[in-house]
Chain A
Amino acid sequence: MKTLKELEEIRQRTLESVNLRKDRTGTRVVVGMATCGIAAGARPVLMAFVEEIRNRKLQHVTVTQTGCIGVCRLEPMVEVYLPGEEKVTYVKMTPEKVKRVVAEHLVNGQVVREFTIGAEEKVE
């Protein structure tokens, strides 16, 4: 059984790696979490981002939520904000797609074009 004591250990372990500055220069991953997003599978997508970011020990990346982005039929939708770059909107996301977005976009800075709203609209 896990105890709060373990948390104390995690605290010690993470303390040095945590950037305590509250600047807004980091990368933001924003997942649409309104009824439409949740029903379409936003939660597993969000959890997949957290897991990938944790496994790769990516600093300066925060995962957060927003309400309805407005194109409910393309949910789950994810917006990625890299510092100094234009927002990229990914649509119809899945936990499998998350792995590629993290590796190619968050780590290597290459947008995964085929998952973006632009690519999706062309197909339709």
Chain B
Amino acid sequence: MQDLSLHLLDLAQNSIAAGASLIRISIDEDGQRDRLKIIIEDNGRGMDEVAAKRATDPFYTTRTTRKVGLGLPLFIATMERCQGSVTIKSTVGKGTALRAQCSLAHIDRPPFGRLDDTISTLILCNPEIDFEYHHKTDSGEFKLDTREVRKTIGEIPIHHPEIISWIQSYIGEGLNEINGGVQ
């Protein structure tokens, strides 16, 4: 994966596959303490302890098209080489929370990449799922909640090209304002 936004897009697929109806993505760039925190939470079907442990094993996957599952292992490797770690908490029937943290200024930390593209792609492809995106930096906060967007657009489907394009630039401008996701 070239950047963190692609990791996020990939990790969110796990929540989607778990049948989540709400996915929360939060990013906290704490420059003062040199920490980057990333949380992905969902209300999907969750995993029992055994499955949660195996999820980090590259040779474990629930898919049937091939024998490896690299999404999570690749992300863990990325975090760990930046003095970071990843924890997964999951409860069957309730959902899964993935928490990651690493050094923000670490030389090996990949750039954030196009977070606006990642979030709008997720919304476009999963119109039945609600997304909450929260991004915090030392200079401010940005929030997007698809439930609020839905309230405003009424009967227009959220994956309408005009709406997706608005969401994409809304995120882009919002992140710009707080200097979030700066490469």
The residues in B between 167 and 183 inclusive whose CB is less than 8 angstroms from any CB of A are 169-170, 173-174, 177
A50 at the interface (CB under 8 A from B): yes
- Do B125 and A50 touch (CB < 8 A)? no
Q: Type the 1/0 row for B140-157, where 1 means its CB is closer than 8 Å to any CB of A.
A: 000000001100111111
- Do A54 and B165 touch (CB < 8 A)? yes
Q: Type the 1/0 row for A37-53, where 1 means its CB is closer than 8 Å to any CB of B.
A: 01100011011001101
Chain B residue at minimum C-beta to C-beta distance from A47: B117
A33 at the interface (CB under 8 A from B): yes
Q: How far is the CA of A54 from the CA of B120 in the complex (A)?
A: 14
Contacts A18-B157, A20-B155 given; indicate if A72 touches B166 (C-beta within 8 A): no
B132 at the interface (CB under 8 A from A): no
Q: Type the 1/0 row for B97-125, where 1 means its CB is closer than 8 Å to any CB of A.
A: 00000000000000000100110110011
Chain A contacts of B120 at CB under 8 A?
47
Majority secondary structure of chain B interface residues (helix, strand, loop or mixed)? helix
Majority secondary structure of chain A interface residues (helix, strand, loop or mixed)? helix
B88 at the interface (CB under 8 A from A): no
Q: How far is the CA of A68 from the CA of B68 in the complex (A)?
A: 11
- Do B153 and A7 touch (CB < 8 A)? yes
Chain A contacts of B70 at CB under 8 A?
35
Q: Type the 1/0 row for B1-13, where 1 means its CB is closer than 8 Å to any CB of A.
A: 1000010011001
Contacts A4-B148, A18-B156, A38-B10 given; indicate if A47 touches B121 (C-beta within 8 A): yes
- Do B6 and A43 touch (CB < 8 A)? yes
Chain A contacts of B148 at CB under 8 A?
4
B71 at the interface (CB under 8 A from A): yes
Q: Which 7 A-B pairs have the closest CB atoms?
A: A54-B161, A65-B125, A70-B65, A35-B71, A7-B152, A68-B65, A2-B170
